[in-house]
Structure 1
Amino acid sequence: MMSSSLEEVWRSESGGSIKPRTLKRALYFSFRMVSYLGVDWAGGCWAVVKTGNETLVTTEPSILNVWHEHGQDDDVRSILVDIPIGLPEDGVRACDEEASERLKSQGNTVFSIPRKAIVETEQYGDAREMNGGSLGSQSWWLFPRIREVDVFLQEYEDALTKMYESHPEICFRRFVHDIEYAKDTVAGREERLEVLRTDSDLHKEVEAVVDQRKDRVEWHERISKGRLDDVLDAAVLALTAKRIELGRRSESNEYPALPEEDDPGEDEKLGISPEILYPRAL
């Protein structure tokens, strides 16, 4: 039985003029050859997890490499990244505020991203002064990665149609409401790994990486023992994209996202609204 959501995507992308026989063939191959990427910064490289037609756990040195080596492939329908996409000219992002409220005690895992001028400032002292005299170190060290993705998406329009923002902890808690332990603990790692069991191939691949590196990591391994939580984060983003069958940006491509209540605003350079995608409930 063909997926109705996939059929809607093909009809919308073809202007509704695709012939029934062609549609069936397209849906058949799409169903068998569709993949999704989850991407998370792992302190020196980007952790990349792929699920769907192919299951893969790897790393790339830049977001440009992520795109050239994986994202631009025809089988990849969409990419979810744990990095802010879309910066405000003034104020803060509504999606960050709603995400922090939903996570309650874990709300500090959501960085409140200031306006674009502050993110683009090169000196910490200047950025802190512009931000009212306060700027956390984690936010400051994230700024180069935000700028990297922002500039990349300004230059690669095709990538902008595939790449969206999400937040791993929002996704984990949407799949399983009672996440109990912090992600940097053994119990938290096992708890989050269990969430991936809904995708057996993905779970097997990620579990193998975790088991291989949780006790001892060779010096040449790019994903260290301390960055295994980033692999799990990238994995739940890939699983989320797969769950909601996320495709390219278009008016007909509906998906659950924050903010749900407030005006998300718009990034004028990218022409999109800042938003954090999350999976539908089971």
Structure 2
Amino acid sequence: MSWVAGVDGCPAGWIAVFLPTEGGGEAPPAVVSVATAFAAVIDAARAPAVVAVDMPIGLPARTGHGGRGPENAVRPLLGGRQSSVFSVPSRAAVYAGDYGAACAAALATSIPPRKVSKQCFHLFPRIREIDGLLRARRELVERVYEVHPEVAFWRLNGGRALDLPKKVKGSPHGPGLAERRAILAAAGLPAPLIEAPPPRGAGPDDYLDALANALIARRIRTGAARPFPDPPGCDEEGLPLAIWA
């Protein structure tokens, strides 16, 4: 049996949803787990053939207006949800030692010059974790793909952007979560999986995002997904620059 995994960051580390490549009544049930290290998802017993993770992959030496190419490629798809796609700065900024140094590096490597948002800065340790793993284990580039939950839901929703946010003022937003559950159900996931409480260490929004990412991982595995931009770019370290959906 071949497996894929959809992964999202969560307070405890990484929440992963493992799905069999093909659905149906004879397929084994999904498995949900939380790992403190991204490598643990890659090296899990189910050995996912594709891992779709909501975290930037590929860090260019310089960025243009709006961040990397993938962010600029997907924002027009999302309507009022465009702000959910952060502008990721250069590799030098991501590897800077503190917020001030990150802003200084970003200013020096972006056109027009742009500092780093605090929200994006807090993701830097996780970006570095994946970046370091892919650079150390080059064979993983063929298994690990960057996705974005809002773009995943856009695709699963027939190319229509979502109307509601999943969080309001930092707290889960019930109507927005309900909208996402309905899309996951229409995409074929069973109700018990969608309605299950998230595992300890993950929020309900993290869980639903991981489910959506897993469905995109399945589409990548079967050749039904496409990259944004198409074809993907590549950074100076040879890592791909694309968000898949």
TM-score > 0.5 by shorter chain? yes
Q: 1:137-164: per-residue Cα shift (whole Å, max 9, x none)?
A: 1110011100000001112233222110
Distance in 1, Cα, partners of 2:139 & 2:82: 33
Relative distance call for 1:182 and 1:145 in structure 2 (3 A) is: same
1:90 counterpart letter in structure 2: R
Gaps of 5+ in 1: 1-32, 214-220, 248-252
Query: Is the 1:56–1:205 contact (alpha carbons within 8 Å) kept by the matching residues of 2?
Result: no
Kindly state the Cα deviation for residue 63 of structure 1 after the two structures are TM-superposed: 0.5
CA contact (8 A) 2:55 2:127 kept: yes
Question: Which segment drifts farther, 49-58 or 120-129?
Answer: 49-58
Give the structure 1 partner of residue 94 of structure 2: 119
Given the superposition, is the C-alpha separation of residues 208 and 88 from structure 1 closer, same or farther in structure 2, using an over 3 Å criterion?
Answer: same
Choose from 103, 114, 118 the match for 1:137. 118
Q: Could you tell me the TM-score, scaled by structure 1's length?
A: 0.72
Taking the aligned partners of 1:228 and 1:95, their CA distance within structure 2 comes to 26
* TM-score, length basis structure 2: 0.82
Report the alpha carbon displacement of residue 196 of structure 1 after superposing the two structures with TM.
1.6
- Could you tell me how far 1:268 is from its partner in structure 2? 2.9
Distance 2:139 2:7 in 1: 17
Q: Which residue number corresponds to residue 207 of structure 1?
A: 195
Task: Summarize the alignment of residues 23-172 of structure 1 with structure 2, pairs less than 5 Å apart.
Answer: 33-52=1-20, 53-70=28-45, 73=47, 76-91=48-63, 92-132=67-107, 134-172=115-153
Q: Name which one, 1 or 2, has greater alpha-carbon Rg.
A: 1
1:183-221: CA deviations, max 9, x gaps?
Answer: 1210111111111223334x42231225xx8xxxxxxx3
Structure 2 Cα separation of the partners of residues 107 and 147 of structure 1: 24
Going from structure 1 to structure 2, the CA distance change for 1:64 and 1:207 (only over 3 Å counts) comes to same
What corresponds to 1:258 in structure 2? 228
Map of 2:240 onto structure 1: 273
Displacement, 1:107? 1.1
Corresponding residue number in structure 2 for 1:222: 201
SS across alignment from 2:18: strand
**C-alpha separation between the residues in 2 aligned to 1:50 and 1:199?**
15
What whole-Å deviation, never above 9, does each CA across 1:221-264 have from its counterpart, x for those lacking one?
322xxx2101110110101122x2526xxxxx68411014xx75
Kept after mapping to 1: 8 A contact 2:69/2:229:
yes
Cα 1:200–1:100 shift into 2, 3 Å = closer
Q: Distance in 2 between matches of 1:86 and 1:275?
A: 8
Aligned residues between the structures: 221
Once the 2 structures are TM-superposed, how far is the Cα of residue 134 of structure 1 from its aligned partner? 2.3
CA apart distance, 1:47: 0.8
1:88–1:265 contact (8 Å) kept in structure 2: no
In 1, the alpha carbon distance for the partners of 2:19 and 2:148 equals 18
Q: Which has the higher strand share?
A: 2
Moved more, 138-147 or 36-45: 36-45
* Percent of aligned pairs with the same amino acid: 29
Where 2:16 maps in the other structure, the secondary structure is strand
Q: Structure 2 regions of 5+ residues with no counterpart? A: 21-27, 108-113, 168-172
1:200 to 1:115, Cα distance in 2 relative to 1, 3 A: closer
CA distance in 1, matches of 2:9, 2:131: 14
Give the distance between the partners of 2:91 and 2:75, measured in 1 at CA. 20
Question: For residue 180 of structure 1, what is the aligned residue in structure 2?
Answer: 163
- 2:10 is matched by which residue type in structure 1? A
State how far apart, in whole Å, the 1-side matches of 2:177 and 2:87 are.
Answer: 25
From the two aligned structures, give the one with the greater helix fraction.
1
Native 8 Å contact 2:233 2:240 kept in 1: yes
Contact 1:173–1:179 (CA under 8 A) maintained in structure 2: yes
Deviation at 1:167?
0.5
Q: Name the CA shift for 1:109/1:51 in 2 (closer, same or farther; >3 Å).
A: same
User: Any conservation in 1 of the 2:12–2:34 contact (CA below 8 Å)?
Assistant: no
Q: What do you get for the CA RMSD once the two structures are aligned?
A: 2.1
